[in-house]
Amino acid sequence: MKRILLRMVRPTEGLEVTSNRIQRKKLYQASEASDRVSRVLDKLIQARLVRLTEGDTPDDVQVEVAHEALIRNWPRLVNWLEDERVNIRQRLRLTIAAEEWKARGGDRSTLLRGALLKDAQKYEDLSDLEKDFILHSRRAELNNRRLILTSVTGVFLALAGLTIYYQRVNANTRTQVEQALLNTVSNVAVSNILEEHAKAVNAVSFSPNGKILATASGDKTVKLWDTATGQVIKTLSGHTDSVNGASFSPDGKMLATASGDNTVRLWRLDYDNLLRQGCVFMDEYFKTNPDDADAEISNMCRAVSH
């Protein structure tokens, strides 16, 4: 009963709360027996605590708290409202956002992202529209991450190519190139923040094909990341002091790492094997998060397995 009644109130910007008329069908959710919800609603209607308004079709039937005075004077409802006031506002914002997305014909600019998307996924009493809205928001955010990561990779490759030219130009031109590079990098938004190292990251290096990023850290390890997913493929351990540099060979099959332990280590990389490990991880991830399934990644992994 608590969940049903709280969906029928709308908090204002201040401390006031008003009645919120809602479609009856939106009060049903997959995790709760429909007949139980119907029994509770029917009892509230019979007790004249809730008012039912018929529509042109069964889907248009609406319900609301029968009297505004109930919201202010029914002790049980007042106590529930005090405990849930913030959650009610957040939940209502999700409903309004989903309806606006539908009204604008699925406009991508209205989709959720970041913390708002994360908060929206915690609710269990989602309508079909809200579920669809969150699904499209998650897919858009995943696509944005991949697109921006690709852009960042392109910028680094461009920087590497320009280094040779940079060394040959005069001081005046060098300043102009430097400014252009700064402008380019500043226009790239941060997509993924890779946070697996226990200490500071001292150096990074992209493989020649741009599919792997190596990061050298003060935690004495080097991590290899899949640039498409932002996931760790493998952690290279062996140095006994901070790793301060890393560099791929031109064919991408070797990685050299330099450490404060006075050694340089050469690591032989089997990219196909590393990719298969990454595909195993993504396969397990997609099994538990089917809405995030990505056809391009799945096709790539199937090709690697053959």
CA dihedral 91, 96, 102, 105 (to 10 degrees): -130
Q: Does 226 map to a domain?
A: yes
Position 277 scores a pLDDT of 65
Domain count within the chain: 2
List pLDDT tens digits, range 137-181.
888 887 776 665 555 555 555 555 545 444 554 555 556 656 665
Least confident of 20-29, 204-213, 269-278: 269-278
Q: Does 147 map to a domain?
A: no
Least confident of 13-17, 149-153, 246-250, 283-287: 149-153
Please compute the mean of the pLDDT values over residues 217-228 and round it to a whole number.
90
Position 187 scores a pLDDT of 53
Position 240 scores a pLDDT of 94
List pLDDT tens digits, range 185-209.
555 555 567 888 989 999 999 998 8
If one compares 138 and 284, the residue with the highest pLDDT of the two is: 138
If one compares 252 and 286, the residue with the highest pLDDT of the two is: 252
Distance, in Å, from the CA atom of 180 to the CA atom of 178, rounded to the nearest integer, reads 5
* Structure tokens belonging to residue 284: 């397990």
Q: Does 172 map to a domain?
A: no
- Of the candidates 24, 56, 89, which is a domain's last residue? 89
Q: Does 300 map to a domain?
A: yes
- Of the candidates 89, 121, 154, which is a domain's last residue? 89
Confidence at 5, pLDDT banded by 50, 70, 90 = confident
C-alpha pair distances (Å), 42 with each of 1, 9, 47, 63, 71: 11, 18, 9, 11, 19
Q: Which one, of 267, 221, 268, 271, lies nearest residue 243 by Cα?
A: 221
* Structure tokens belonging to residue 285: 């991830």
**235 neighbors 222 (Cβ within 8 angstroms):** yes
Please compute the mean of the pLDDT values over residues 264-279 and round it to a whole number.
72
Residue 80: CATH number of its domain: 1.10.10
Residue 242 reports pLDDT greater than 90: yes
Domain that holds residue 234: 194-306
Q: Does 62 map to a domain?
A: yes
Distance, in Å, from the CA atom of 206 to the CA atom of 227, rounded to the nearest integer, reads 9
Q: Does 204 map to a domain?
A: yes
Q: Does 271 map to a domain?
A: yes
Position 50 scores a pLDDT of 83
Position 221 scores a pLDDT of 94
Residue 256: CATH number of its domain: 2.130.10.10
CB proximity list for 290: less than 8 A, separation 6 or greater: none
List pLDDT tens digits, range 97-134.
888 898 988 888 888 888 888 877 877 777 788 888 88
Query: Residue 201 class from Cβ within 10 Å (0-12 exposed, 13-18 middle, 19+ buried)?
Result: middle
Q: Does 126 map to a domain?
A: no
- Of the candidates 37, 62, 89, which is a domain's last residue? 89
List pLDDT tens digits, range 30-87.
667 888 888 888 888 888 888 888 888 888 888 887 777 776 667 777 676 666 666 7
